[in-house]
Homo-oligomer: A and B are copies of this chain.
């Protein structure tokens, strides 16, 4: 909806702003009531993730988007924002965030509401992505789904009866830290054998680095520096495409443990659908066969047949669309 004459003239044509607070960029967009992105902005924040840079930048960009919409005769009615980390939903506070080291107890909702005089809805970024996929993406027809955001880490958002399941303390959906192998590798959280330790970009890079240090042969060796410290998940995927056995094995292992986690989610929640999003899903053809094999082996056979496992449709806009959707719901 770029706005026909009717929409541009009516001042009660209300839109919302969706914001995705990523590790390398803040992405904002005005979003129509029907869920279409209108005016979008991307603010690179790599190297300046401190609170004193980011908060003013968010406010400036929100103000700019409000002005653009105003000039088209539209009114921004609310703002939704998805943030990584621990969110205190009821008070609108980012308790801690893995991406922003000096964010401790940031009263994001109150700060933004005071600055732009609009209602602000703050949620976890994976919850926002899950809601985005439910509202306008792969889960449009589903009333229940689990969405896994697979990137540097693995986040999760759970939709039940069409709405985000937040849990008693607003912290449900920490699917990345399900134990999939009690004696498995160390995870960023300090625990061992979490899904994230195997099937996130970080987990796969760790696995590749360790294998090469142990002397395993791989095309990855030529791409990395001497101590293989600069291997990336993208390199693993590219090498797998070229038939590199180690890279293919790492992706299959990531798939195996993803499958174990998904089987658990299916047995516990019996959702209609599992939606996988994030950069790692680009390697779908390499990890999904092993994942499906584990699901078939470990989830109840009736559910294995019925539960859809699909890629997200909104790719990198799920978080923005979902945050906007959550804001619209509160209006």
Contact = CB atoms under 8 A, between A and B. Distances in A.
Interface of A: 86, 143-144, 156, 158, 160, 165-175, 177-182, 191, 260, 263-265, 267-272, 297-298, 300, 302-303, 306-307
Contacts of A302: 86, 169, 171
A59 to B, nearest CB: 29
A137 B264 CA distance: 27
Contacts of A271: 167-168
Most buried by B among A166, A169, A268, A272: A268
28 contacts: A144-B167, A158-B269, A160-B165, A165-B269, A167-B270, A168-B271, A168-B307, A169-B270, A169-B302, A169-B303, A169-B306, A171-B300, A171-B302, A173-B268, A173-B270, A174-B268, A174-B270, A177-B267, A177-B298, A178-B264, A178-B267, A178-B268, A179-B260, A180-B182, A191-B297, A264-B264, A265-B268, A268-B269
A223 B160 CA distance: 49
A172 B260 CA distance: 17
Given A178-B264, A178-B267, 15 more contacts: A86-B302, A160-B160, A167-B269, A167-B270, A168-B270, A168-B306, A171-B300, A172-B270, A174-B267, A175-B267, A175-B268, A179-B260, A179-B264, A180-B182, A181-B182
Ranked nearest first, the 5 interchain pairs of A and B with the lowest CB-CB distance are A167-B270, A172-B270, A174-B267, A168-B272, A178-B264
